[in-house]
Amino acid sequence: MRLSRYFLPLLRDTPKEAEIVSHRLMLRAGMIRQQSAGIYSWLPLGLRVLDKISRIVREEQNRSGAIEILMPTIQSADLWRESGRYDAYGKEMLRIKDRHDREMLYGPTNEEMVTDIFRSYVKSYKDLPLNLYHIQWKFRDEVRPRFGVMRGREFLMKDAYSFDIDQASARHAYNRMFTAYLRTFARLGLKAIPMRADTGPIGGDLSHEFIVLASTGESQVFCHKDYLDFETPAIDTDFDSVDGLQSVVDKWTSLYAATEEMHEAADYDAIPADKQLSARGIEVGHIFYFGTKYSEPMGATVAGPDGVPVPVHGGSYGIGPSRLVAALIEAGHDDGGIIWPDEIAPFDIAVLNLKVGDAATDGACEQLYKTLLARGYDALYDDTDTRPGGKFATADLIGVPWQIIVGPKGLTEGKVEIKRRTSGERELVSLEAALDRFKGKTA
Ligand code: ATP
Ligand code: MG
């Protein structure tokens, strides 16, 4: 992308309403624009990041055996009457009427709809297990939308729904998602700790919130420090291995970790003092086993091995890609701006032309830019006539992980500079060596 032709509406001043650093930086970097309270347009830079996050979420869902579908945002109230949630949901649900006066709603979640799909087609235990997911916009009329996309009213969610013949197999479905979540957050460069969450009237221990530690998080959390060093399940994890996944989950639930609502002071105090971690956290994911809560009232049954119909056991599993954009910035920034993990960055490499119009500089930049594109990188070429200081500031602000800085002075010796965003380290190398550094994108 040539910056001169891109749409990157940077803000010089930060709007006062932005209370936390991620919101400030997303506005300054031209990633989002607020359209109404808690409702945002995603501008090109923001959309790139959102898409990259969704891609990783999708890859790990698929790896675990979940199958992607796409359900609509608008749902019929009748479906929600079947589960009894239409009246129970309250003011967070945006209720609308169509021209025929039919009651509709903008979906805050999709348990009812996916249960309807399931019951329409699946009739036998032989077709189980099944896990269907989608990545779709949700609307919840939050009382206090705030912190930008961290707590929006309209937000993107990946929600998966598992269907199993009994509780034991539903447990395995839960473990699949648990493991997929560990891998997803690790790939996003985040340390997310699964913490026990309230299961409501169903009881049991099958609900976890995945929490990223950050000083601006909305929840108070308590956990054992060793979680921060736990190993992520490997890429070749066998998601069909019941014992294998159970041992992953056992390991990741072996130490104390709870949000304020589930906090047991006595258990926490039993942790050696130097291992206690009390901090703020951001909920980036939530997984939940709910048994037959929807299948019973909605008649989602399958014939078991003996031919007798039984209601299926379900679970739902959410991740918020739009909230993750903000969470990633909370976890990665400095005074200069955003520091993205390599896999999520909107661009992999920026080529900064310090003297547009100078034949040698233009030539070297064009060569670099075109070669990088050909090698599969998302390259951003700053070919604008901004002064060098402004170019450095922009590249740092939007958080491009690598910058190749090209100016006439260096070029007289055939040299360009490579800068790493994370460390700020700069290195003077030949043009060829710079290109050798970026041989091709494998991710
Ligand atoms: P919270 O406790 O933060 O209000 P929740 O428990 O209501 O969230 P879930 O129903 O568990 O949310 O939704 C699954 C995921 O969707 C959350 O873990 C979060 O990542 C995301 N999410 C939920 N509400 C919002 C929101 N208002 N804005 C952005 N993302 C959200
Ligand atoms: Mg939740």
Q: Could you tell me which of 173, 245, 148, 259 has the C-alpha nearest to residue 210?
A: 259
The SS3 assignment for 120 reads: helix
Q: How far is CA 3 from CA 327, 348, 379, 383, in A?
A: 26, 14, 10, 6
Distance 282 CA to ligand 2 centre (A): 10
Distance 160 CA to ligand 2 centre (A): 14
Distance 350 CA to ligand 1 centre (A): 34
Q: How far apart are alpha carbons 116 and 79 in whole angstroms?
A: 8
Q: How far apart are alpha carbons 115 and 80 in whole angstroms?
A: 11
Q: What is the pLDDT of residue 441?
A: 85
Ligand 1 pocket test target in 26, 89, 157 with most atoms within 8 Å of CB:
157
Query: Could you tell me where the beta strands, DSSP code E, fall in 121-267?
Result: 130-139, 154-164, 192-196, 207-213, 219-224, 257-259
Ligand nearest to the CA of 152: 1
Q: Which residue shows structure tokens 């034991």?
A: 168
Retrieve residue 188's tokens: 């996003």
Q: Which domains does the chain have, with CATH numbers?
A: 3-338 (3.30.930.10), 349-437 (3.40.50.800)
Retrieve residue 193's tokens: 């700790």
Residue 107: CB atoms within 10 A of its CB come to 25
Name residues whose C-beta falls within 8 Å of residue 319's C-beta, 6 or more positions apart in sequence: 57, 157, 158, 181, 184, 210, 284, 285
Identify whether the C-beta of residue 125 lies closer than 8 Å to the C-beta of residue 302: yes
Q: How far apart are alpha carbons 288 and 280 in whole angstroms?
A: 22
Q: What is the pLDDT of residue 218?
A: 92
Task: Count Cα neighbours of 141 within 13 Å in the Cβ-side half-sphere.
Answer: 10
Listed as ranges, residues in the chain with pLDDT below 70 are 201-204, 443
Distance 122 CA to ligand 2 centre (A): 28
Task: State whether the beta carbon of 320 lies less than 6 angstroms from ligand 1.
Answer: yes
Task: State whether the beta carbon of 140 lies less than 6 angstroms from ligand 1.
Answer: yes
Distance 207 CA to ligand 2 centre (A): 9
Atom 23 of ligand 1 has which residue's CA nearest to it? 320
Identify whether the C-beta of residue 176 lies closer than 8 Å to the C-beta of residue 64: yes
Retrieve residue 57's tokens: 């979420």
Burial-class residue 191 by CB neighbours within 10 Å (0-12, 13-18, 19+). Answer: middle
What does pTM read for this prediction? 0.96
Task: State whether the beta carbon of 283 lies less than 6 angstroms from ligand 1.
Answer: yes
Of all atoms in ligand 1, which is nearest to the CA of residue 159? 14
For 322, list phi and psi in degrees, rounded to 5: -70, -40
DSSP structural state of residue 4: G
Q: Could you tell me which of 115, 116, 96, 114 has the C-alpha nearest to residue 106?
A: 96
Helices (H), 274-358: 295-298, 321-331
Q: Which residue shows structure tokens 């070429």?
A: 381
Task: Count Cα neighbours of 117 within 13 Å in the Cβ-side half-sphere.
Answer: 16
Q: What is the pLDDT of residue 204?
A: 66
Atom 19 of ligand 1 has which residue's CA nearest to it? 320
Q: What is the pLDDT of residue 13?
A: 87
Q: Which residue shows structure tokens 């399931």?
A: 118
Retrieve residue 189's tokens: 């460069």
Q: What is the pLDDT of residue 443?
A: 55
Q: How far apart are alpha carbons 289 and 202 in whole angstroms?
A: 9
